[in-house]
Structure 1
Amino acid sequence: MKVLLVSIGTRGDIEPFLAQAELLRKADHEVVCLFPEQFRETVEKMGMEFLGLDRRFLEMLDSSVGKSVMGGGGNAFATIRNFFRLMKNSLGLQKTLIHQQKDAIDATQPDRVVFHPKALYCTLPAMAEPRKYFQLSPIPNLIHPHPSYQHLSLSKWKPFSEKWNLKTYDWVNGSRYIAFNKFVKPYFKDFPGIAFSTKAIKNFELHQLQVLYQISPTLYPKPANWPECAYITGFFARDQNRDFLPDPELSAWLAKHPKAILLTFGSMSNPKPLEISTQLIGLLEKHGIPAVVNLSWGGLQKIESSGESIYYVNQVPYDWILPQLYGIIHHGGSGTTHSAAKSAAVQLIVPHIMDQYFWNRLVRDNGLGPLGTSIHNFDADQFEQALLEFWNNPEYKAAAKATAEKMTHEADPQALIHLITD
């Protein structure tokens, strides 16, 4: 069976699809990946066909304007101004991305399509052939309402009452449907007999669209009000440990520091990486907390004056290093949160944007770590209090081990493959 995977965004958006591609390939299905051009080498090394989306999308996110919106940390006026600049710059590009999605589907003629929520065009053919299309989402609280949580775009604020939490889905998605129609309306004519009214799209997403939430049911049990077409499949990650050869110096450092942590902001950035890094690493050294610091995309920077208890890396596979550590301080992306939970690592989140505030609360609610402090207007004193709680409370490690044990058998690859291909 030929399966087309379509995803748009940064590494956090692509990794769940790479994991899905790996599973499908092992099951002897033909896999074609339509991702941003920057991921061509990764996909082709995995031995799969790659179709490239316009590379300008990621370049735009990596610009100073994009980093301001993605990383936060600046004043509210600058963030709002840059958000609208980013939206303006993305309008023409979105039309290109939509057309590329259509061309890929037409050219490959796939038996199944698995697409990211950002892949707008895919909703149209999904409404025409709902059994052929699956939306894969690494985050909840977008389409299907949860009475305990507001829509994910509003997760920076504390949850409201059950009534108002549920209303936020209508408000946010109502606006999204208007924008959706603006972008894909030229393609309505290709699907005669299908109603693309706002009401019809809402009804389709809520009751017919097959959504694969690749999240842990241990961390986030399926709500009773969700339909059968919404699946919580468990967390899947590709095996990045297979070809990894650790630096002998890093292995020796880990042996010397049996209770160490990982500090990483993943693909997030912020306007003050040197200042934030100085504060974070200074507090780690002050309290004798040894740490591996993942510099990655530049959200953290090397502090030349740091001592032997701080070890810097440019990238390291989470599935290799996390099982060897006490815990992790991170930005709160879905993949990182799940990898840490699966590895029994205690967590402290410094949320930057949208869903990261949700995972911050979920970590706290599951007893896996204290509530972290936002990167916006970062407060070193508040972070220090959370850091000491993270480091010294033994209940967090006990809860992390119990959670990891529950997660061991919850993600069934064969069940997921069967769901997509049957």
Structure 2
Amino acid sequence: MKILLVAIGTRGDIEPFLAQAEMLNNDGHVVYCLFPEQFRETVEKLGYGFLGLDRRFLEMLDSKIGKSVMGGAGSVFEMIKNFYQLMRNSLSLQKVLIQQQKDAIDSVRPDRVIYHPKALYCTLPAMAEPKKYFQLSPIPNLLHPHAEYPHLSLSKWKPFSAKWNLRTYDLVNKARYIAFNKFVKPYFGDFQGVDFSTKSIKNFELNQLQVLYQISPTLYPKPANWPAVAHITGFFARNQNQNYQPDAELEAWLAKYPKAILLTFGSMSNPKPLQISTQIIQTLEKHRIPAIVNLSWGGLQKIDSSGNSIFYVNQIPYDWILPKLYGIIHHGGSGTSHFAAKSGAVQLIVPHIMDQYFWNRLIHAHGLGPNGTSIHNFDANRFESALGDFWNNPEYKINAKSIAQKMIPEADRQHLIQLITQV
């Protein structure tokens, strides 16, 4: 089969699709990836066909305004102003991204399409040919309601009552349908006989669209009232360390510090990387906690005054390093949270945006680490208090090892491939 994967976003959005590509490629299928242009080299090195989405989307997130919104700099007025500007810039790009999705489907003519929730255009052909399209989501609480959690866009706040948690899905998704119609309505005529009314779209998404929630059922069990088309598949990740060769200096450092942690903000950035990095790293040194600091996309920076207990890297495969460590301090992305849980690592989350607040609470609820402090108006004292609990509470490591054992058998690759490719 020819299978087209469509994903828009940062590395955290792309990695689940690369894991899917690896599985499908190993099963003999021809894989094409429609990702932001910045991922061309990564995809082509892996041997898959690549079609590039406009690179301005990621450039916008990495701009001064984007970093301000992601990292919470400035006053409330500045935050609102910057968020509004970011939304305006994003909306101006949507028409380009939607046309590129259409062009990719028309040119590849795939047998199956697996698409990210941000890929708006794909909903149209999916409603016309529902057996051919799958939505892949590394996060829950977007489409299918859960009484314990509000819609993911409201995750920064604590959950409401069950009644209001459920109601938030209707409220948020009604607004999304308005935006959806604004951008894709010009293409409705290409799908004669398909009802694209708001009521019809809602029914399709809730009851007909095959959604692959690539999350752990141990961490997030499937609610009994969800439809059969909503699949919680377990966490899948590609093999990132097959060609990784750690340098001798890192291996010597790990031997010297057998109880150590990883500090990473993944692909998140913020407008105060030097200030926040200094506060965190100095606190780690104060409490004699050795750490590998993953500089990655710039959310963290090297502190020249740091001592030998701090080891800096630009990138490091999580599946190689996490099983060797006590724990991890991170931004709370779905992939990182799952990697850590599956590795038996204790977690302390510094959430930046939307779903990261949800994972922060969920990880804490499972006893895998303390409740972390937000990057917005970062509070060094609160962070230090949480860090002490993270480092010294033995229950967290016991719970982490228990959860890791439960997660091992969850992800059935062959079952997932059959689900996607069945005729």
Same fold (TM over 0.5): yes
346-355 or 294-303, larger mean C-alpha shift: 294-303
Q: 2 CA distance for matches of 1:13 and 1:88?
A: 22
Aligned to 1:28: 28
Q: What is aligned with 2:354? A: 354
Measured after TM superposition, the shift of residue 79 of structure 1 is: 1.7
Residue aligning to 1:207: 207
TM-score by length of 2: 0.99
Deviations 1:393-412, CA, capped at 9 Å, x for gaps? 10000000001101111001
Q: Is 1:241 the counterpart of 2:241 in the alignment?
A: yes
Inter-partner Cα distance in structure 2 for 1:120 and 1:182: 11
Structure 1 gaps, min length 5: none
Deviation at 1:92, TM superposition (A): 2.5
Per the alignment, residue 78 of structure 1 pairs with 78
- TM-fit CA distance, 1:71: 2.4
User: TM (normalized to structure 1)?
Assistant: 0.99
Count the aligned residue pairs: 422
Shift of 1:224: 1.1
C-alpha deviation, 1:72, in angstroms? 2.2
* CA apart distance, 1:269: 1.2
- In the alignment, which residue of structure 1 is the partner of 2:416? 416
Q: Which residue of 2 aligns with 1:183?
A: 183
Range with bigger deviation, 71-80 or 305-314: 71-80
Q: Which digits, 9 at most, give the CA deviation of each residue in 1:357-386, with x for residues without a partner? A: 000000001110010000111111111111
Match of 2:89 in 1: 89
| 1:220-231 alignment, distance < 5 Å | 220-231=220-231
Q: Quick one: distance in 2 between partners of 1:209 and 1:348?
A: 35
CA–CA separation in structure 2 for the residues paired with 1:92 and 1:75:
26
Q: SS where residue 373 of structure 1 aligns?
A: coil
CA distance in 2 between partners of 1:56 and 1:379 (Å): 33
> 1:251 maps to what in 2?
251
CA–CA distance in structure 2, aligned partners of residues 26 and 74 of structure 1: 48
Equivalent residues in 2 for 1:114-133, closer than 5 Å = 114-133=114-133
Q: Which residue of 2 aligns with 1:67?
A: 67
What SS class does the counterpart of residue 105 from structure 1 fall into?
helix
**Letter in structure 2 aligned against 1:188:** F
Post-superposition shift, 1:298?
1.0
Offset, 1:306: 0.8
What CA distance in whole angstroms lies between the structure 2 residues aligned with 1:91 and 1:400?
Answer: 41
Task: Tell me which residue corresponds to 1:321.
Answer: 321
The equivalent residue for 1:307 is 307
> Helix, strand or coil for the counterpart of 1:16?
helix
Match in the other structure for 1:46: 46
Give the letter aligned to residue 89 of structure 2.
N
Match of 1:172 in 2: 172
TM-fit CA distance, 1:417: 0.3
CA deviation map 1:282-309 (0-9, x unaligned): 1101111000011111111111111111
SS class of match (2:83): helix
Letter in 1 for 2:162: E
Question: Which range moved further: 347-356 or 50-59?
Answer: 50-59
Q: Residues 112-134 of structure 1: CA distance to partner in whole angstroms, max 9, x if unpaired?
A: 00000000000000001111000
Identity among equivalent positions (%) equals 78
Matches within 5 A, 1:259-270: 259-270=259-270
SS, match of residue 292 in structure 1: strand
Aligned partners of 1:269 and 1:298 also within 8 Å: yes
The Cα shift of 1:91 comes to 2.2
Aligned-partner SS, 1:118 = coil
What residue identity is the alignment partner of 2:322? L
Partner of 1:138: 138
For 1:274 and 1:113, locate their aligned partners in 2 and report how far apart those are by CA, in whole Å. Answer: 41
Residue identity in the other structure for 1:67: K
The Cα offsets for residues 73-120 of structure 1, whole Å up to 9 and x where unpaired, read as 433222211111111112231101000100111111110000000000
Amino acid at match of 1:154: L
**Map of 1:150 onto structure 2:** 150
Contact 1:4 1:113 in 2 (8 A): yes
Alpha-carbon distance change, 108 to 80 in structure 1, aligned in 2, over 3 angstroms:
same
User: Does structure 2 conserve the Cα–Cα contact (< 8 Å) formed by 1:344 and 1:403?
Assistant: yes
Amino acid at match of 1:340: A
Structural RMSD (CA): 0.7
- Aligned equivalents of 2:70, 2:180: Cα separation in 1: 22
Which residue in 2 is equivalent to 1:383?
383
Structure 2: how far apart are the matches of 1:312 and 1:80?
35
What is the alpha-carbon distance in structure 1 between the residues aligned to residue 156 and residue 397 of structure 2?
26
Secondary structure at the counterpart of residue 378 of structure 1 = coil
Q: Is the 8 A contact 1:6 1:115 kept in 2?
A: yes
Q: Partners in 2 of 1:62 and 1:223 — Cα distance?
A: 37
Which sections of structure 2, spanning at least 5 residues, go unmatched? none
Q: Distance in 2 between matches of 1:116 and 1:227?
A: 20
Runs of 4+ in 1 over 4 A off after TM superposition: none
- State the SS of the aligned residue for 2:329: strand
Moved more, 353-362 or 190-199: 190-199
